[in-house]
Amino acid sequence: MDTNKSLIDRIVNGDNGAQELLYKMFSAQMYTVCLRYINDKEDANDAFQNGFLKIFDKIKDLRNPDALPGWIKSIFVNECINFYKKWQKINSIYVNHKAEGIDNLPSNYSSIIDKLSAKEIIKHINNLPPQYKLVFNLYVFEDLKHKEIAKKLEISVGTSKSNLHDARRILSEKVTKMKEYKGLKLNINKGQV
Amino acid sequence: MSINYNRIEDEMKDKINENLISPPSHIWSNIKSVQLEKSIDKEAKRNKVFRKGSLFLFSLLFVSVLINFVLLHKVYFTDGVEELSTNSVVSYDKEKISQNKPVAPIQQMEEELGNEKSKIAIQNEWMKSDFDLSRLPSSPRIKKVNSNLASVNFKRPNTANNKGVVSFNNINKGDKAADKIKDLPSKLSSESKDEISFAKIDSSIKLQDSEIAIAEKEMDSLINETIPNDTVQLAKNKRVIEKHLLFNVDLANSNAVVSNPNNIGLGNKLENSFSYGVNSQLGFELSNRFTLYAGLGVYKQTLKQHFEYDSTVLVYESIFGRYNNLNGLNDDEEHHVVNNSYFLQIPLRLSYKLWEYNKFDLQVSGGVTMNFLLSSKTTNSSNLKLIEQGSKLPSYFFNYDVGLGANYQLNNNYALSISPFFRKSLAPLSSYKSIAISPYSVGCTIGIKKQF
């Protein structure tokens, strides 16, 4: 199996097979990243495609082959963030949004999450307002600190914290409601209502 | 109640990571199509730049040649003024020439011209078109003695020296123009002198008073303006532009500006090395001070880099590539990688004459050189094995150069030229690991200038 170093060398030398191998290695993981950030599938496809084009273009500049997976992920995350910056959706949507949610989570919140599929979780995350979604993704999935998030999104640390808090509340509300709705649907089907 | 978000979110994360979603299959083909498109665009853009650059250079060369051969070649042999020259073109008997009669030697021509009093000037174009120069016993050739004198050189049969030059010698500031003009007929009639005016070929011609008056006026102004040391051209109103050919040897110390050298290790730096080249350039004197040069040459550029040893990975890193240290060489030893490249050069530059005194003149010059890479080879001093190709020089690029020039006139035909210069690529030449290389040379051009 190709090590990162030899894989990079082959790509830099224009080996198409190596490009395809890299694509196969990381495509599912990175596509999932794009879907976490971008709601619209076509837009997510575009970001995903641009991300790989950027990788093939810039891989010659990668100094440390061991950092390949992290480097690839950072390119996709930046691509997704740039998608929002490009369309200036963050501010316009964020300003008009009033955070809602529930303060008291059901005790079985954890088990509710456990019963959701990956696609459903992604869908719920994606339904968050853009800036909440960005902060939530960066904090939870990219393991960034608030200071790093603030720098990346050009917001204050306080805003980042508050966004995360609101994102969690909204997410919990949506998930809970979904659960209740599903439960209701289930009961209707069983003729209990 | 207290919510342990971290735990719940870790669960989300795990679930998503365990259930990755594959992208639609068409995306990979899209990526390949875009890549192909980009590479085609890049190639097309490169070709476009190349074509435009070439077109620009060749246009300049063409214009230069056009100026020279259409405009500049209209060297009028007037030793009168504009008003005189209108009626003063030598009307040699074209009919005789067309009948293929042997063209008379100079003396015979003098007789045939008879008492034509308006034969003051010969237009070079007319000579070329109507005279078969090859059939003259000695081929007259248009020549410039210096920036102020247009002359014709020809061989005079039956004379010791066999040479004739249109010239007005020993004219100094303060001389009376009238004396020189009036002196002309006797000067021309002197057999012992090789100086003869082709225009005033008939020694019996006496200039009319009105002609002398105009010529005096013109000559006075010339004498008082820019008097050459020993000659003066009487016809100021006729533009004469010199051509000359330079044969140069460039000797230079070459190096390069390297950006982001840390990208390949430990601050590798290029060392000074010797480069050289030869070229020839045609110079068109656009005015007394400006000269346009265009030419062709070959240049060998050497770039030398000291290796910095990276003990962590057992490789030597350089701008030109990564080398495997199979032999276990010591870092204490000196290791170098050397790149030798040969270029075909097309220089185009403009020089401005700052100062002129006796046989010396001093100039500043600047211009652009187009370089075509003929060959490039990189070697290392320690037989290390190349494991990754580094910077490659492009197949063509542009340099700019600025310099000073000093000329020493050896005689009427030749001058010695010495020009210190600084030359640098217009744009960085390489993109290896974000390292940009801009080669430059500091050197001296030593050449011989041959005047026509």
Chain B residues in contact with A27 (beta carbon < 8 A): 22-23, 27-28
Percent of chain A with pLDDT over 70: 78
**Residue B201, φ and ψ in degrees, nearest 5:** -75, -25
From A35, A113, A168, residue closest to B21, measured CB to CB: A35
CB contact under 8 Å between B8 and A113, yes or no, is: yes
The pLDDT of B146-151, averaged and rounded, is: 34
CB contact under 8 Å between B31 and A23, yes or no, is: yes
Chain A residues in contact with B23 (beta carbon < 8 A): 27-28, 31, 45, 48
CA B433 to chain A, closest CA, distance in angstroms equals 5
Q: Is B42 on the interface with A (CB under 8 A)?
A: no
Consecutive H or E run containing A47: helix A41-58
Task: Please give the C-alpha separations between residue B245 and each of B59, B195, B451, in angstroms, as whole numbers.
Answer: 20, 26, 6
* A117 to chain B: closest CA residue: B15
CA angle B189, B195, B201 (to 5 degrees): 55
Which of A72-81, A168-177, B392-401 has the highest average model confidence (pLDDT)?
Answer: A72-81
Question: Which residue shows structure tokens 């700052």?
Answer: B354
Q: Which of A7, A110, A124, A164 to mutate to test the interface with B (most CBs of B within 10 A)?
A: A110
Amino acid letter, residue B341: S
Q: Residues A184, A186, A187, A191: is their CA dihedral positive or negative?
A: positive
Alpha-carbon distance of B266 to B307, in angstroms, equals 9
Q: Could you tell me if residue A190 is left (phi over 0), alpha (psi between -120 and 50 degrees) or otherwise beta?
A: alpha
Coil, strand, or helix at residue B334? coil
Indicate if the pLDDT at residue A98 is higher than 60. Answer: no
Percent of chain B with pLDDT over 90: 11
The pLDDT of B313-336, averaged and rounded, is: 70
ipTM above 0.95, yes or no: no
| DSSP state at residue B175 | -
Q: Which of A27, A170, A172 to mutate to test the interface with B (most CBs of B within 10 A)?
A: A27
Establish how many alpha carbons lie within 13 A of residue A70's alpha carbon, considering only the half-sphere containing its beta carbon.
9
Alpha-carbon distance of B185 to B203, in angstroms, equals 5
Q: Indicate the pLDDT class of residue A181, thresholds 50, 70 and 90.
A: low
Q: Residues A71, A74, A80, A85: is their CA dihedral positive or negative?
A: negative
CB contact under 8 Å between A48 and B18, yes or no, is: no
* A8 to chain B: closest CA residue: B388
Alpha-carbon distance of B209 to B201, in angstroms, equals 19
Question: Which residue shows structure tokens 């990189």?
Answer: B378
Amino acid letter, residue B161: N
Question: Which residue shows structure tokens 């003929």?
Answer: B374
Alpha-carbon distance of B259 to B435, in angstroms, equals 5
Q: Indicate the pLDDT class of residue B193, thresholds 50, 70 and 90.
A: very low
Chain A residues in contact with B13 (beta carbon < 8 A): 140-141
Alpha-carbon distance of B222 to B232, in angstroms, equals 8
Indicate if the pLDDT at residue B217 is higher than 90. Answer: no
The pLDDT of A117-128, averaged and rounded, is: 85
CA angle B390, B394, B395 (to 5 degrees): 135
Q: Indicate the pLDDT class of residue B237, thresholds 50, 70 and 90.
A: very low
Q: Indicate the pLDDT class of residue B65, thresholds 50, 70 and 90.
A: low
Question: Which residue shows structure tokens 């059901």?
Answer: A106
Q: Is B388 on the interface with A (CB under 8 A)?
A: yes
Alpha-carbon distance of B407 to B386, in angstroms, equals 48
CA B241 to chain A, closest CA, distance in angstroms equals 54
CB contact under 8 Å between A105 and B7, yes or no, is: no
The pLDDT of B86-97, averaged and rounded, is: 33
From B23, B35, B433, residue closest to A61, measured CB to CB: B433
Q: Residue B72 contacts by C-beta under 8 Å, 6 or more apart in sequence? A: B239, B240, B241, B243, B284
* A125 to chain B: closest CA residue: B12
CB B174 within 8 A of CB B187: no
* A172 to chain B: closest CA residue: B5
Q: Are strands B149-154 and B141-146 parallel, antiparallel or unpaired?
A: antiparallel
Alpha-carbon distance of B196 to B151, in angstroms, equals 10
Q: Residues B89, B94, B96, B100: is their CA dihedral positive or negative?
A: positive
Closest Cα to residue A32, out of B433, B19, B122, B421? B19
The pLDDT assigned to B84 comes to: 26
Closest Cα to residue B343, out of B254, B449, B247, B245? B254
Q: Which of B11, B20, B324 to mutate to test the interface with A (most CBs of A within 10 A)?
A: B20
Work out the angle between the directed axes of helices A118-126 and B5-18 (0-180°, nearest 10).
120
CB contact under 8 Å between A118 and B31, yes or no, is: no
- Of the two residues A156 and B3, the one the predictor is more confident about is A156
Question: Which residue shows structure tokens 């403009």?
Answer: B350
Q: Which of B4, B15, B34 to mutate to test the interface with A (most CBs of A within 10 A)?
A: B15
Chain B residues in contact with A63 (beta carbon < 8 A): 263, 433
Q: Indicate the pLDDT class of residue B300, thresholds 50, 70 and 90.
A: very high
Amino acid letter, residue B322: R
CB contact under 8 Å between B21 and A118, yes or no, is: yes
CA B267 to chain A, closest CA, distance in angstroms equals 15
**B129 exposed, middle or buried (CB, 10 Å; 0-12, 13-18, 19+)?**
exposed
Chain B residues in contact with A49 (beta carbon < 8 A): 27, 30-31, 34
From A31, A60, A114, residue closest to B23, measured CB to CB: A31
